[in-house]
Chains A and B, each alone.
Chain A
Amino acid sequence: MTTIAKRPKDVHLGDRVFALSLKSIAAFVGIMLIAIGFFLAKASIPALNNSGFAFFVTSVWDPVQNVYGALPVIFGTIVSSLTALMIAGPMSVGVALFLTELAPAWIASVFGFLVQMLAAIPSVVYGLWGIFVLAPWMRETVQPTLSSSLGFLPLFQGPPYGVGMLTASLILAIMITPTIASICQEVFKAVPTAQRESALALGSTRWEMMKLAVLKTSKPGIFGAIILGLGRAFGETMAVTMVIGNRSEISFSLFAPGQTMASVIANEYAEATHDLHLSALAAVGLALFIVTIIINGTARVLISRITFKRQQA
């Protein structure tokens, strides 16, 4: 057996310098992530020292009294994001199914582009539209209809302000649909064509084929996409800030104004004068940072696992 002598790795001085500089640039990205966590943690020490873990479970957020409990904003974030997911999840799966399974190529590419445009519109423009178009529509049409038909539920009680949790959720749903849809599209595209063909050959209709060959095997991928959408909804700031009403109180009605973790920072940080207030907002930011990392990490692992398996097969 002949062995070829291994070429020494990067003999050139220039090569070594080049590789080193690229490596340090790439390492810089990792360091930045750690630095973000570090600076946020440092800034939130006073608030966490002041009230400890109670910071996250007490429900009074009152900058005037200098009392900070993050429960209302955590509640607002979870409720608005989950409501948005309930609208955007099924819708995105539908859009992705249409684009990958039904639409002819040119329609799919035009619609696909338009859906991606939804993601490209700046958040502040959605906010502007939300204030002047969506909120009045909600106040005059949607909310009265909901309270007269489903008003027995505590979710749809209270005066229709227009701005509030429901409007924010709707805007969030619009904004996260492209994210979820495009990942679902990737996941569906990874389904081998033979699988579809065999379903059709067994006499399935198109819908049965989608159920059997596409949706069933794509479940983890869809789940990952939805989680990724959740991550985006958690962090979305401007549009939500502009239509959620900005009141740090817990209310079980979706009509009531609320506050999310991101919106409370956007609203109060520039005007906060008290150190404890700044620190409390930084602590909220830290929580947001950690939660998005966990959510996105999980989703990426899920998605990469499924597409990897497919590529192997």
Chain B
Amino acid sequence: MSSSESLMTFDRPLKGLHPSLRRKGLAFDYYRRSKFRSFLVQICLCLVTIGALVPLFSVFIYVLQQGLPALNLAFFTETPKPVGEVGGGMANSLAGTLVIIGIASLIGIPVGVGTGLYLSEYGQGKRGSTIRFLVDILASIPSIVVGLFAYSMVVLPMKRFSALAGGIALSIIMIPTVARSAEELLKLVPQTVREAGLALGLPRWKVTLQIVLKGCRAGIITGVILALARIAGETAPLLFTALNNRFWSTQLDQPMSTLPVQIYSYAISPFDDWHRQAWAGALVLVLLVLLVNLMTRIVFSRAATTLRGWRK
């Protein structure tokens, strides 16, 4: 380090050095000292990042370790056994989760994609940014509050807990996620593509639906799947809308069991066998979320690159 050598010859103010050392007339290299401090900070930042990931690995290891032995065929094919009996599974909860996600997507996907389209195609002005702001606010509302809303809007008039109420609650949670990811992708479609379509004499709605929307279909589907993975793990809004059910149920106006609610009720129960099954359920949920995230990340980045390539 020739540059630091030359700096060393300067007599730097000995600020920060302990007086006893100063008296001893120790050679003091300010530059080297701050370099060392910088090195320490960098190590710390690295450690902090690794530390932040410790819980992730811990959760993952425990879910695997506790969940794998508990995972068997019965888990996927049987309904819960009566209290006290060992065995049984979560087949009804798995099916229930699928049904409720289905209801949520029936509402959530059209409204979400529609809002995304509005924001990207018509949302340049003040009204657009207001809607964008409202979508962000909607995304940040605690899911339990959405559950309360679904309760007073659906459960109270129907006078019973129902799968439908749960689906509606989840659709509200899903809309902002879908809308923002759709908007982001739609905005990547270059303006020239729209202009080319319009120049051919196509009406605007055809350009939007058949060229713009089609162009980023893959990305939008990915965003939708990510949103679905998120609501698949939602528990709070289902606690008093879809409630829970120990039996097979296909009726939408009846309480329905879902995987997260079942995990919750088993986790806080006093029985070991139920704890075991809660871990198995958690394993299924975590694997689902992880796989979906990994896959969509790959597809999403590919879709975005294609669109960016389009622009050039």
Contact = CB atoms under 8 A, between A and B. Distances in A.
A22 B121 contact: yes
B142 A102 contact: no
Contacts of B35: 205
Nearest to B226: A120
Interface size class of B (residues with CB under 8 A): 35 or more
B234 interface: yes
Contacts of B233: 121-125
B235 A99 contact: no
Given A25-B118, A29-B134, A205-B38, A14 B289 contact: no
B221 interface: no
Interface stretch (A30-38, A52-60, A191-199): A30-38
B106 interface: no
A129 B236 contact: no
B148 interface: yes
Nearest to A264: B144
Nearest to B263: A124
Contacts of A266: 144, 236, 239
B140 A94 contact: no
B62 A133 contact: yes
B264 A238 contact: yes
Contact of A98 (B48, B149, B279): B48
A276 interface: no
A33 B137 contact: yes
A202 B48 CA distance: 28
A60 to B, nearest CB: 23
A174 interface: yes
Given A26-B131, A121-B286, A269-B240, A285 B145 contact: yes
Nearest to B128: A26
A207 B46 CA distance: 13
Given A205-B38, A289-B141, A115 B52 contact: yes
Interface in B41-98: 41-42, 44-46, 48-49, 51-53, 55-56, 58-59, 62-63, 66
A252 interface: no
A223 interface: no
Interface string A132-152: 110000000000000000000
B131 A118 contact: no
A309 B240 CA distance: 44
Contacts of B243: 270
A30 B134 contact: yes
Contacts of B21: none
Contact of B268 (A33, A120, A242): A242
B239 A270 contact: yes
A63 to B, nearest CB: 15
B236 A205 contact: no
Interface string A193-236: 00000000001011110100000000000000000100110111
B48 A115 contact: no
Interface of B: 31, 34-35, 37-38, 41-42, 44-46, 48-49, 51-53, 55-56, 58-59, 62-63, 66, 110-111, 114-115, 117-119, 121-123, 130-131, 133-138, 140-149, 151-153, 172, 175-176, 179, 203-206, 208-209, 229-230, 232-236, 239-240, 243, 260, 263-264, 267-268, 275, 278-279, 282, 285-286, 289-290, 293, 297
Interface of A: 10, 12, 14-15, 17-19, 21-23, 25-30, 32-33, 35-36, 39-40, 42-43, 91-92, 94-95, 97-99, 102-103, 111, 113-118, 120-129, 131-133, 174, 177, 181, 203, 205-208, 210, 228, 231-232, 234-238, 242, 262, 265-266, 269-270, 281-282, 285, 288-289, 292-293, 296-297, 300
25 contacts: A23-B118, A29-B135, A30-B134, A35-B153, A94-B44, A102-B45, A102-B46, A103-B49, A113-B293, A114-B53, A120-B229, A120-B289, A120-B290, A122-B285, A123-B234, A125-B286, A127-B264, A203-B31, A208-B38, A237-B143, A242-B264, A269-B240, A285-B148, A292-B142, A297-B137
